[in-house]
Structure 1
Amino acid sequence: MGYFKEIYRMDLPHRAKTVYMYLADRADRDGKCYPSIGTMARELNLSRRTIERAVTDLVQAGLLTKEQRWRENGGKSSLLYTLKCRLPPE
């Protein structure tokens, strides 16, 4: 729980804090995960647009990077998210 104190203190909209905690819960040891916008929206009971805004908030705050992933056939896949803050030990 102490891990998120830093996030709680930041001047971020609640949507960004919620999405950050969601991503942190799903990230690997390197802080990487790749849930789709639709999956996050469904599991957090938020709109796709709210998720997109939250991701933008986190990127602008320097807490997250996102990278487009591609399928072998050249089509888009889900985004790869990398958390920029220290993750709690597993």
Structure 2
Amino acid sequence: MSIELTIKVWQRSLPASPKIVLLALADQAGRDGKCSPRLRDLAEKVGMSQHSVRTNLLQLESMGAVICERQAFRASTYRVVG
């Protein structure tokens, strides 16, 4: 868990749904800001459907808050941008 990233996410001005998804990513991220959660696990953690999490991840990516490295047949790697 990266406390520094979590603090930065709390300080960001974001709508509630994207913020909770970003907080969940920051909670799992290493010092480099990267994590590779499965979509199903992330959805369960934040209490949203997988579709809602995917929509929020795309929104965060378009805002520049997250960089996604998509991989075939593997969980994507997300880097939380502080």
Q: TM-score, normalised by structure 2?
A: 0.83
More strand by share: 1
Q: How large is the Cα RMSD of the aligned pairs?
A: 1.6
Moved over 2 A (4+): 1-6
Looking at CA atoms only, which structure, 1 or 2, has the larger radius of gyration? Answer: 1
TM-score (norm 1): 0.76
Whichever structure has more helix as a proportion of its residues is 2
AA aligned opposite 1:6: Q
Identity across the alignment (%): 26
Alpha-carbon distance, 1:68 to partner: 1.6
In structure 2, list runs of 5 or more residues that go unmatched: 1-5
64 and 4 in structure 1: CA distance in 2 versus 1, 3 angstrom threshold: closer
| Alignment gaps of 5+ in structure 1 | 71-75, 86-90
Partner SS, residue 78 of structure 1: coil
